[in-house]
Amino acid sequence: MSKASDPGENPRQIPRRGGRPLCLLSALCLPPSVFRLLISSFRLPLSTFCLPLSVLLLAGVPPGSVRAQAALEIMERVDQQARCSSRQYTGSLEVYDRGGKVLRKAWLSRRKGFGGESRSLVRFTSPPEVRGVGLLVLAHRGVPSDQWLYTPAIRRDRRIAPQDRSVRFLGTDFSYEDMQEREVADYQYSLIGEEASGAGSFFKIQAVPNKNLRSQYAYLYVWVDKNLFVVTRTEFYRDKELSKTLAAGKLERIQGIWTALELEMKDLKRGSRTVVRMSDVQYNKFLSDDLFTLRNLRDGDR
């Protein structure tokens, strides 16, 4: 593909509405999905968003429908602010076990495209035990993604089932589901309310995954910053039990996109937590298609 034709040369394309990908937990890569959930920017003043909600309430629309419509619009805003044609960053993570002992890992993440039509490659760079391990994900809208895991020690790439969503990704507290790209339409939303704290004002939204998503979670609670339209906290429920929490920190606006440079995922059942830190974040950079091939997965980004 020529450079001129690459989407990376057309930054911040206006996203289509309806059926577009969300990243409910989008792409940290390590968790691409979580990463996308927590990045956002805003273009419209908040009042333009709040007006329809007020109008609907005055018009006597049933509160349940109002809450659902409002929540959907908020999540679409979150998704819209996070859009980019490509993203690259280096990440490091610390996995703390119940006793507080820590394991550190680092990786390079690249993603091209967005949501339902995207390609991503995560390559671990340390520790030596997992150096070179790579995960290639080719996401297709409406059909399961293709995923391969390459393990240098056995020199094999292995197609893995995308539905293995509850499986931990390389010993972290992130599951493969947490890393998958999602569509806005994959969830049913409801606006639970608004909360304020010293950290700011937030919408609290419940997101229930559609059955065809086969999610490990029964529902999620998501806190969206009312000013930035960035998800700053997520709670993951299995049945009615709180299973995990995800918190975002160190928000920075990079190339117009609000980006959480620090994430903390806690697994309440296991008593472990994973802290992710991102650096060298670049959006809308030209990334060759050759980076997202089995050849490159095996060859270790030569």
Partner 1 sequence: MTLSAAALHAEESRWKFEGFWEHRTFTYFRPAETGETQAEADSHLRGKLTYQFKNMSLAVAPDLWIDSHGRMDRQSASLSDRTDRRPAVSSSELTLDFRTASLDLRVGKQQIVWGRADTWNPTDNVMPFDYLDLVETERIGVAAVRARRYFNSASLDLVWVPRFSPTRLPLLNARWYPRLQSPSALPLRFRSRARFPPTTAASSQLAIRWDHTAHGWDYSVSYFNGWNDIPNFALLLVSPAASSGGPATPSLEVNLQRSFRRIQVVGGDLAVTPAGLGVRAEAAFFRPQKGALDFSPGEDRDYLLYALGMDKSWGDWTLLAQVMGDIAFGSGGAVFPPQAATLRFPDRGLGHSLLGRLEQSTGPRASWSLTAVVRLQAGDSLLEPEYQYQLAQAWKLSAGVHLLVGSRTDFLGQYRNNSRVYIKLRQSF
Phi–psi pair at 136, nearest 5 degrees: -110, 125
Instruction: Specify the stretch interacting with partner 1 by CB under 8 A; choose among 21-29, 42-50, 124-132, 227-235.
Output: 124-132
Contact status: 301 vs partner 1 (CB under 8 A): no
Contact status: 210 vs partner 1 (CB under 8 A): no
Q: Of these, 69, 90, 92, 166, which contacts partner 1 (CB under 8 A)?
A: 166
| Closer residue to partner 1 in complex, CB, 70/91 | 91
Phi–psi pair at 81, nearest 5 degrees: -70, -25
Contact status: 243 vs partner 1 (CB under 8 A): no
The amino acid sitting at 182 is R
Q: Of these, 96, 221, 237, 286, which contacts partner 1 (CB under 8 A)?
A: 96
Contact status: 144 vs partner 1 (CB under 8 A): yes
| Closer residue to partner 1 in complex, CB, 160/185 | 160
CA distance 297 to 160: 14
CA distance 175 to 169: 5
Instruction: Specify the stretch interacting with partner 1 by CB under 8 A; choose among 28-36, 57-65, 138-146, 198-206.
Output: 138-146
CA distance 36 to 259: 8
Contact status: 158 vs partner 1 (CB under 8 A): yes
Q: Of these, 101, 211, 240, 279, which contacts partner 1 (CB under 8 A)?
A: 101
For the chain, strand residue ranges (E) read: 21-22, 26-27, 86-96, 102-114, 117-126, 134-140, 143-151, 156-159, 182-183, 187-197, 200-209, 219-225, 231-238, 241-254, 257-267, 272-283
Residues 6+ apart with CB under 8 A from 184: 19, 20, 21, 22, 72, 75, 76, 79
Q: Read off the DSSP letter of residue 65.
A: H
Contact status: 171 vs partner 1 (CB under 8 A): yes
Contact status: 131 vs partner 1 (CB under 8 A): yes
**Minimum gap (Å) between residue 178 Cβ and partner 1:** 13
Q: Of these, 55, 167, 199, 242, which contacts partner 1 (CB under 8 A)?
A: 167
Count of positions on this chain that bind partner 1 (CB under 8 A): 38
Residues of span 275-294 touching partner 1 by CB under 8 A: 294
Contact status: 53 vs partner 1 (CB under 8 A): no
